[in-house]
């Protein structure tokens, strides 16, 4: 039987939960601590943050205050564009780890390719060092398109294990997903329910939800999982965090999956990775 403890196996053998909590735009302090605590109490084991989010300290406090063994948790953070480069990435990693209060990290990502900066190969070299030295259990990228990964692999000795990208029914990233699948990379969806896009107001999602006794958000999260995607919905509300995790007790039919697939508009909510260079 499926459950919130279900995992994907990365190409290095590390297992990563299929579902986690994202904390983008969650305020440091009480707000993020409450969200992370609510998630862990609800059974979540993956928490996704980033240096840019400026809430690593609160995430770390919530982890430290919880009784769940550290080994059961999967913690992700990311190096920001202005810290890209070999030594600056190593320094940024130390800062993040001090804020998180952790002895090791489960997944470290390059937040954006930032192509005009021309530093992601050097940044990746630092991630490879952190990985081979045992400071990080897995390394990956975020917002990388296939051509960015191709360029990275001209100098890399280890392929990314995860690629975290904007992905929801309005923007399904089929090309990136196919590329990741072909190269053994797990695709992880950020903004999975298209917050602010009006996606959850789509009548087709309400109708599908009624068929299973589920909310539109639960239907969309389940759609990600059935496409083999990892997913990190964000919420600061305990009830919504719990609701977002109750997606393992139903299966969307192929006909309903096709209807959701048909919502594709090709429009991003976030910026184009080729144009993020700050």
- Domains along the chain? 7-198+220-251 (3.20.20.100)
Task: Please tell me which residue in 53, 108, 170, 179 is annotated as part of the active site.
Answer: 53
267 to each of 158, 168, 179, 241, 247, how far by Cα in Å? 32, 10, 20, 26, 26
Query: Does the active-site annotation cover 53?
Result: yes
Mean pLDDT calculated for residue range 183-201: 96
> Tens digit of pLDDT for each residue in 62-81?
999 999 999 999 999 999 99
> Tens digit of pLDDT for each residue in 109-154?
999 999 999 999 999 999 999 999 999 999 999 999 999 999 999 9
> Tens digit of pLDDT for each residue in 209-222?
999 999 999 999 99
DSSP 29-68: THHHHHHHHHHHHTT--EEE--GGGT-HHHHHHHHHHS-S
Looking at residue 1, what is its pLDDT? Answer: 84
Looking at residue 196, what is its pLDDT? Answer: 87
C-alpha 190 chain-centroid distance: 5
| C-alpha count within 13 angstroms, C-beta hemisphere, residue 49 | 28
CB atoms within 10 A of CB 164: 27
Cα distance between residue 127 and residue 158, in whole Å: 10
Q: Within 76-138, where are the H helices?
A: 86-100, 120-132
| C-alpha count within 13 angstroms, C-beta hemisphere, residue 275 | 4
Nearest to 130 by CA among 171, 165, 181, 89: 89
- pTM exceeding the 0.95 threshold for the entire prediction: yes
- Name the one residue in this structure whose structure tokens are 């975020």: 142
């Amino acid at each position: 039987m499926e459950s919130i403890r279900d995992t994907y196996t990365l190409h290095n053998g590390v297992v990563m939960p299929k579902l986690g909590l994202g904390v983008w735009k969650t305020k440091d302090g009480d707000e993020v601590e409450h969200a992370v605590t609510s998630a862990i109490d609800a059974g979540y084991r993956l928490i996704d943050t980033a240096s840019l989010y400026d809430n690593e300290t609160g995430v770390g406090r919530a982890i430290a205050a919880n009784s769940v063994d550290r080994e059961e948790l999967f913690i992700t953070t990311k190096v920001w564009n202005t810290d890209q480069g070999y030594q600056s990435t190593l320094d940024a990693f130390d800062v993040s780890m001090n804020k998180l209060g952790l002895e090791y990290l489960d997944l470290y990502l390059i937040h954006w390719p930032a192509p005009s900066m021309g530093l992601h190969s050097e940044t990746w070299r630092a991630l490879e060092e952190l990985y081979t030295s045992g400071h990080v259990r897995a390394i990956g990228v975020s917002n990388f398109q296939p051509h960015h990964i191709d360029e990275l692999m001209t100098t890399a000795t280890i392929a990314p294990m995860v690629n975290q990208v904007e992905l929801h029914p309005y923007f399904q990233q089929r090309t990136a997903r196919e590329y990741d699948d072909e190269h053994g990379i797990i695709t992880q969806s950020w903004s999975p329910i298209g917050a602010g896009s009006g996606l959850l107001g789509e009548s087709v999602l309400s109708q599908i939800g009624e068929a299973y006794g589920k909310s539109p958000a639960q239907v969309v999260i389940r759609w990600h999982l059935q496409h083999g995607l990892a997913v990190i919905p964000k919420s600061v509300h305990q009830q919504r965090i719990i609701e977002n995790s109750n997606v393992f007790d139903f299966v969307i039919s192929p006909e309903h999956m096709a209807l959701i697939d048909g919502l594709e508009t090709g429009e991003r909510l976030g910026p184009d990775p080729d144009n993020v260079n700050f």
